[in-house]
């Protein structure tokens, strides 16, 4: 390079500098949260460009989300001072896959204008195939098979890789044939699904060595962020592009953190980290140990928690960021989720009065149904918020469907609601019927529900549709009669049950179905604070109207899963209760491994915070329509006393009197207070006694940790794990 060192290198620590400057040969940066892994990647790209080692188009850089890709592009532009002439190969595995397929799709039988099917399209297509094969699609649900195909594709398995007659492979071993039929159908339709965006490029490169060679020549540098969450197919894809014949440059740099692997349920293989050194012999492994993001309290709490996991590579983390004003991680208790939202709302308003930006605050939830309470509260308070990584609560599919039922019961002329649910769940009232009803209603200028009542007296519809329509009308009549004198939450539950809507999701085998059922329960729960169905419907239309302007200062609300890689000044982590976090489903489905993945999720959550981290738990939640007292999450017991403070109970309980609860609130909170202040600590302390040295690179042994002062002097704090 010679001459003056560019500015962007000036602030880096020696290990980061090494990771940026080791441009030749494979590099693996394996380091804890907030140590600058993403910053290293960004700076590395800037350095490559700045030193003229490659053009932007010769760099392949993979991020976990599209948002992260956009941010990285902006950062690079800042570092190299001036616009980067595009970075065409910066994106997620999927978006890069699309790009490759648009160019070379013909090699797997796709024209360049192929379409990408969404989940609904896929399920519809699979259903047709199942039926065409003469199988009963009730016994062998299309959704379930769609899930299987997705799992196979994440593992890089095509139809030919499924053993013939594998009895586990759906419909008594016909999975393989159906999978073949599905792929053929996609080709005929000139379409592909999400998994194909990974699978097709793999096939293309395998079958066309010359083309692969061309891409080896093109991509002089390859970089991957969040490497711990790559799945097998992504890894195969990466290896094809990055592994070069002997003597050719192999400039690949992956950065990741095994403690932040949180997509195992979606096929991510943390073992890809271990394979890296095998597949790329001579790889330089660089550890970053200094955390630049969080205070020592936040870091100490997170490190102590994650030390309870067994399957870890282990790492050292310390921070110099300690200040006398630093606050410990705060644990708060609330009576129920409504009070939790209220208390967090107050905390936010207080920070706001202290001149903190809403943009610097985030609420990270375990399950998306939890968002509803916050959205409602913030609308009431007039606080701006944005939901990241998914629709807002009342905009979700299942909520819109359910609301359409309620609206139609309350307001029989709501044609939009009518059209939305008349055939949801499916009851044989398809497009033809709806069109007939539409025409009938238009001609007479009456609402569609009224048209339905009339039309069944005529012979305009086929007998089957007529019967189905008759049943629906009867149901609506009944619900309308109940509207005035049945408690509205009860009626709402009844509507969802009797209409078959709840069952529709219960019978649905897709990964999203359980979450949708949770959301429906949350919807019913949210009605409780209103006097009537009409009052509730009015409220929702107001909430829906509260547009969040992207440029406004706003609190972010998102799931822990979508918070990966992000950072905020203040982080709120509500709902730390057994069953919700760790989530019961993870424990049931994956046992110990599931628990460890939940714990990593907790680690991701805490380490998003720079200055303030507030954890909340409630003592009561409505589960399956019943109020149940809940136990504080075991993760609370796993936090270290030195870095955590239990916020005064009285404070979080005071002021919200709703009469009658008074004393019992404290009773509820007591078990926590006990386990938290004594046995919990003892357990945590016991872990510390068999502290051993940092043992990088091995996976064996129980996770232990040592807290003490590190080399950086009395201010620094080293937290080690094995």
**Residues with catalytic annotation?**
37-38, 225-226, 260, 608
Is 625 labelled as part of a ligand binding site?
no
Cβ 600 to ligand ATP, closest distance in Å? 12
Residue 251 contacts by C-beta under 8 Å, 6 or more apart in sequence?
23, 24, 25, 26, 220, 221, 222
Q: Is 37 in the site for ligand ATP (CB under 6 A)?
A: yes
Distance CA 531, CA 488 (A): 8
Distance CA 722, CA 464 (A): 67
Cβ 290 to ligand ATP, closest distance in Å? 8
The residues pairing with 319 across neighbouring beta strands, listed in sequence order, are 291
Cβ 597 to ligand ATP, closest distance in Å? 16
Distance CA 215, CA 100 (A): 10
Instruction: Report which DSSP code applies to 163.
Output: P
Q: Is 39 in the site for ligand ATP (CB under 6 A)?
A: yes
Cβ 575 to ligand ATP, closest distance in Å? 21
Residue 640's binding partner among ligand ATP, Mg ion, none (Cβ under 5 to 8 angstroms by kind) is none
Q: Is 257 in the site for ligand ATP (CB under 6 A)?
A: yes
Q: Is 293 in the site for ligand ATP (CB under 6 A)?
A: yes
Q: Is 16 in the site for ligand ATP (CB under 6 A)?
A: yes
Residue of 13, 532, 675, 695 that binds ligand ATP (CB under 6 A): 13
Is 36 labelled as part of a ligand binding site?
yes
Distance CA 530, CA 532 (A): 6
> Which residues 142-181 are close enough to bind Mg ion by CB under 5 A?
none
Residue 293's binding partner among ligand ATP, Mg ion, none (Cβ under 5 to 8 angstroms by kind) is ligand ATP
- Which part of the chain contacts ligand ATP (CB under 6 A), choosing from 10-18, 112-120, 379-387, 668-676? 10-18
Listed as own residue / partner, the contacts of 423-432 with beta carbons closer than 8 Å and 24 or more positions apart are 424/501, 424/504, 425/499, 425/500, 425/501, 425/503, 425/504, 427/468, 427/471, 427/472, 427/500, 428/464, 428/465, 428/468, 429/465, 429/468, 429/469, 429/472, 432/465
How many angstroms separate the Cα of 350 from the Cα of each of 259, 287, 325, 347, 613?
A: 33, 39, 17, 5, 15
The residues pairing with 558 across neighbouring beta strands, listed in sequence order, are 364
Cβ 664 to Mg ion, closest distance in Å? 44
Note the residue count of the chain.
722
Residue of 6, 9, 12, 450 that binds ligand ATP (CB under 6 A): 12
Q: Is 292 in the site for ligand ATP (CB under 6 A)?
A: yes
Cβ 19 to Mg ion, closest distance in Å? 13
| Helix axes 232-242 and 209-218, enclosed angle (nearest 10) | 80
Is 242 labelled as part of a ligand binding site?
no
- Which part of the chain contacts ligand ATP (CB under 6 A), choosing from 36-44, 368-376, 395-403, 443-451? 36-44
Cβ 431 to ligand ATP, closest distance in Å? 47
- Which part of the chain contacts ligand ATP (CB under 6 A), choosing from 37-45, 78-86, 391-399, 641-649? 37-45
Tokens of 708: 């003490």
Residue 687 contacts by C-beta under 8 Å, 6 or more apart in sequence?
307, 308, 704, 705
- Which part of the chain contacts Mg ion (CB under 5 A), choosing from 33-41, 549-557, 578-586, 601-609? 33-41
Cα 14–Cα 609–Cα 376 angle in degrees, nearest 5: 155
Q: Is 565 in the site for Mg ion (CB under 5 A)?
A: yes
Residue 569, exposed/middle/buried by CB under 10 A (0-12, 13-18, 19+)? middle
Q: Is 9 in the site for ligand ATP (CB under 6 A)?
A: no
Number of Cβ within a 10 Å radius of residue 596:
23
Which of 640, 626, 644 is closest to 683 using CA atoms?
Answer: 640
How many angstroms separate the Cα of 423 from the Cα of each of 330, 400, 414, 426, 471?
A: 49, 14, 15, 5, 12
Helix (H), strand (E) at residue 642: none
Q: Is 97 in the site for ligand ATP (CB under 6 A)?
A: no
Listed as own residue / partner, the contacts of 662-670 with beta carbons closer than 8 Å and 24 or more positions apart are 665/335, 665/619, 668/335, 668/619, 668/620, 668/629, 669/333, 669/619
Q: Is 562 in the site for ligand ATP (CB under 6 A)?
A: no
Residue of 20, 28, 30, 33 that binds ligand ATP (CB under 6 A): 33
Which of 447, 455, 401, 453 is closest to 423 using CA atoms?
Answer: 401
**Minimum CB distance to Mg ion smaller for 38 or for 295:** 38
> Which residues 565-604 are close enough to bind ligand ATP by CB under 6 A?
565, 567
Residue of 35, 38, 183, 316 that binds Mg ion (CB under 5 A): 38
**Minimum CB distance to ligand ATP smaller for 222 or for 449:** 222
Is 35 labelled as part of a ligand binding site?
yes
Is 647 labelled as part of a ligand binding site?
no
Cβ 198 to ligand ATP, closest distance in Å? 23
Residue 272's binding partner among ligand ATP, Mg ion, none (Cβ under 5 to 8 angstroms by kind) is none
Residues that bind ligand ATP (CB under 6 A): 11-13, 16, 33-39, 257, 260, 292-293, 565, 567, 607
Residues that bind Mg ion (CB under 5 A): 37-38, 565
Binding residues for ATP: 31-38
């Amino acid at each position: 390079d010679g001459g003056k060192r560019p500015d962007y290198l000036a602030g880096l620590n020696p290990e980061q500098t090494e990771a940026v400057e080791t441009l030749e040969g494979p590099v693996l940066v394996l380091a804890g949260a907030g140590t600058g892994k993403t910053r290293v990647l960004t700076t590395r790209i800037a350095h490559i460009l700045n030193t003229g080692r490659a053009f932007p188009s010769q760099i392949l850089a993979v991020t976990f989300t599209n948002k992260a890709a956009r941010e990285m592009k902006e950062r690079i532009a800042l570092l190299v001072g001036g616009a980067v002439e595009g970075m065409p190969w910066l994106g997620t595995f999927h978006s890069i896959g699309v790009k490759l397929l648009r160019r070379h799709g013909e090699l797997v039988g796709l024209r360049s204008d192929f379409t990408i099917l969404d989940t609904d399209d896929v399920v519809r297509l699979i259903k047709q195939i199942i039926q065409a094969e003469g199988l009963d699609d009730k016994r062998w649900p299309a959704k379930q098979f769609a899930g299987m195909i997705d799992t196979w594709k994440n593992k890089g398995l095509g139809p030919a890789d499924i053993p013939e007659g594998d009895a586990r492979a759906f419909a008594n071993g016909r999975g393989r044939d159906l999978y073949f039929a599905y792929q053929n159908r996609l080709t005929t339709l000139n379409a592909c699904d999400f998994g194909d965006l990974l699978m097709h490029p793999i096939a293309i490169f395998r079958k066309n060595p010359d083309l692969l060679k061309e891409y080896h020549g093109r991509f002089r540098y390859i970089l991957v962020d969040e490497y711990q969450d790559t799945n097998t197919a992504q890894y195969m894809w990466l290896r094809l592009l990055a592994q070069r014949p002997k003597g050719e440059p192999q400039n690949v740099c992956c950065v990741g953190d095994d403690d932040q692997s949180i997509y195992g349920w979606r096929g991510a293989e943390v073992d890809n980290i271990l394979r890296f050194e095998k597949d790329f012999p001579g790889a330089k492994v660089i550890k970053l140990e200094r955390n630049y993001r969080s205070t020592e309290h936040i870091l100490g709490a997170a490190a102590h928690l994650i030390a309870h996991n067994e399957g870890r590579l282990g790492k050292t983390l310390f921070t110099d960021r300690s200040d006398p004003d630093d606050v410990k991680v705060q644990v708060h208790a609330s009576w129920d989720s409504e009070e939790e939202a209220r208390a967090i709302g107050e905390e936010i308003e207080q920070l706001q009065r202290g001149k903190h930006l809403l943009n610097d605050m985030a609420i990270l939830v375990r399950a998306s149904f939890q968002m509803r309470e916050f959205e409602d509260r913030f609308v009431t308070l007039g606080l701006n918020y944005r939901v990241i990584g998914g629709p807002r609560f009342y905009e979700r599919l299942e909520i819109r469907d359910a609301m359409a039922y309620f609206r139609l019961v309350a307001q029989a002329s709501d044609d939009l609601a009518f059209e939305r649910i008349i055939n949801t769940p499916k009851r044989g009232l398809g497009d033809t019927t709806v069109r007939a009803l539409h025409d009938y209603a238009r001609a007479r200028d009456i609402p569609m529900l009224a048209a339905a009542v009339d039309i069944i007296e005529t012979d305009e519809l086929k007998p089957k549709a007529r019967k189905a329509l008759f049943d629906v009308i009867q149901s609506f009549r009944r619900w309308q009669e109940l509207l005035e004198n049945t408690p509205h939450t009860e009626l709402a539950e009844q509507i969802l049950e009797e209409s078959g809507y709840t069952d529709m999701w219960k019978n649905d085998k897709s990964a999203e179905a359980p979450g949708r059922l949770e959301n429906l329960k949350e919807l019913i729960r949210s009605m409780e604070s209103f006097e009537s169905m009409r009052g509730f419907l009015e409220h929702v239309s107001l909430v829906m109207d509260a547009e969040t302007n992207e440029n406004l200062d706003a609190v972010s609300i998102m799931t822990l899963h979508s918070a990966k890689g992000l950072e905020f000044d203040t982080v709120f982590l509500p709902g730390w209760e057994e069953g919700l976090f760790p989530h019961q489903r993870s424990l049931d489905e994956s046992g110990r491994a599931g628990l460890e993945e939940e714990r990593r999720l907790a680690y991701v959550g805490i380490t998003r915070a720079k200055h303030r981290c507030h954890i909340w738990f409630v003592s009561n939640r409505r589960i399956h329509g019943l109020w149940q007292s809940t136990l504080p999450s075991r993760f609370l017991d796993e936090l270290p006393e030195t870095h955590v403070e239990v916020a005064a109970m009285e404070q979080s309980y005071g002021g919200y009197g709703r009469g009658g609860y008074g004393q019992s609130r404290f009773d509820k909170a007591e078990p926590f207070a006990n386990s938290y202040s004594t046995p919990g600590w003892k357990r945590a302390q016991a872990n510390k006694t068999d502290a051993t040295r940092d043992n990088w690179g091995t996976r064996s042994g129980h996770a232990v940790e040592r807290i003490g002062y590190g080399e950086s002097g009395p201010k620094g704090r080293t937290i080690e794990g094995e």
